[in-house]
Structure 1
Amino acid sequence: MKRFKLTFFLAITTLCASAQKWKSDPEHSRLGFRIEHMQISEVNGIFKDFEIEVKAAKPDFSDAVIALRAEISSIDTEVEARDKHLKDKDFFDAESYPTIQFKSKSISRIDENRYSVTGMLTMHDVTKQVTMEMVHNGTINNTVTKKRTAGFQVTGTISRSDFEIGSKFPEKLVGDSVFIVADAELQLQ
């Protein structure tokens, strides 16, 4: 039994030690969203200030542990008055809840380069489990930065009402489903 425990401990230690840390390149990454407006159009926006960190030991990222942090104050829909309204108490209340955070719990392969990622998303002081789809677009040696670089796209839909965002605005005015898309180039640290 002692031998088993030692072997198990060494295996876990080796796995943790071999995990590589990757960080998003802010110049080549984007965190965006899309939501229906008045049932006839859509509003698109991004968070300009965000960071993604990934730890993975396997080169195909099938064992990835993902963390994301975005600053609410960096929301940008290209309309200053709307951005200000989204930051106030009617929606995100950026002063009280300044960040969005996501931490993965599990990842499972859908096919060769597509994965289902499940994790905990926290917004507006509400934490809910969400599942997103992640596509690994490849990994290269970046000739400019001289760093190993991996490309990903993560997509999924969340419900704003689950996070108590914009509760006083009915779905006929502001849609409940929010489509999320993150395009990220991650650099090996």
Structure 2
Amino acid sequence: MKKLLLSAMFIAISATAFAQNYTNDKYHSQLNFSVPHMTISDVAGEFKNFDVHLNFTKADLSDAKFHVVADVASINTGIEARDNHLKSADFFNVAKNGKLEFTSKSIAKVKGNQYKLVGDLSLNGVTKPVVLTLVYNGSVDNQGIKTYGFTVKGKIKRSDFNVGTSIPEAVVGDVVTLTSNLEFATPKAK
């Protein structure tokens, strides 16, 4: 019994020692999107202000949890007039719904370093389940700090979130491609 108790304590201590809470490195992370315009090209943009919190205790990432919160008013497509239109009630209605939020519910390895990431996306007052592709790009030692890299991709329909429903699909496509490149550094000891 004593041996079993010691083994259980060792496992708990090991898991706790490995357990980490990470926040994305803002200088090396992006939350981007693109959407077809007039069916002939894509318009790209990003959310400049966002945080991604990551927690995992297992080296295989099987228990990884991602939580994303973005300030929709920080949308940037490179054209101020377009950004202001996107913030209006015609699209995101920032005055009423200023936050984009994603909370992962499950993660499953597909093959190699690719995973299926399932979670709930809340946007424009609507919450829906989404399936994203997560690629673990590995980790490196950056001047004594372990840094992890991920790429997340997926597609959503803007109509599912009541974004720009009065705008014809021939003008602004319904399918929005999401791409996020993320870096997380091991928190420094205090």
After TM superposition, the score normalised by the length of structure 1 is: 0.89
Q: Where do 5+ consecutive residues of structure 1 fail to align?
A: 1-7
1:55 aligns with 2:52: no
- Residue number in structure 1 paired with 2:31: 31
Q: Where do 5+ consecutive residues of structure 2 fail to align?
A: 1-7
Aligned-partner Cα distance in 2 for 1:150–1:82 = 34
Once superposed, what is the RMSD of the aligned Cα atoms? 2.0
Where 2:131 maps in the other structure, the secondary structure is strand
**Measured at CA, do residues 105 and 17 of structure 1 come closer, stay the same or move farther in structure 2, by a change above 3 Å?**
farther
Query: Structure 1 residue 141: deviation in Å?
Result: 1.7
- 1:151-180 deviation line (CA, Å, top 9, x unaligned): 000000000000000010111111000000
1:166 aligns with 2:164: yes
Aligned-partner Cα distance in 2 for 1:44–1:107 = 27
Query: Structure 1 residue 20: deviation in Å?
Result: 1.0
Return structure 1 stretches of 4+ with deviation > 3 angstroms. Answer: 11-18
Please show how residues 15-94 of structure 1 align to structure 2 within 5 Å. 18-94=18-94
- 1:92-145 deviation line (CA, Å, top 9, x unaligned): 0111111100000000001121100000000001000000000000111212xx
Aligned-partner Cα distance in 1 for 2:76–2:62 = 32
Aligned pairs, number: 180
- 1:63-100 deviation line (CA, Å, top 9, x unaligned): 20110011011100000000000001100011111110
The percentage of counterpart residues that share the same residue type is 40
After TM superposition, the score normalised by the length of structure 2 is: 0.89
Where 1:122 maps in the other structure, the secondary structure is strand
Aligned-partner Cα distance in 1 for 2:93–2:13 = 42
- Residue number in structure 1 paired with 2:146: 148
- 1:31-88 deviation line (CA, Å, top 9, x unaligned): 1000001111110001110111100001232220110011011100000000000001
Aligned-partner Cα distance in 1 for 2:14–2:94 = 41
**Measured at CA, do residues 168 and 70 of structure 1 come closer, stay the same or move farther in structure 2, by a change above 3 Å?**
same
Is the 1:23–1:188 Cα contact (8 Å) retained in structure 2? no
Aligned-partner Cα distance in 2 for 1:138–1:109 = 15
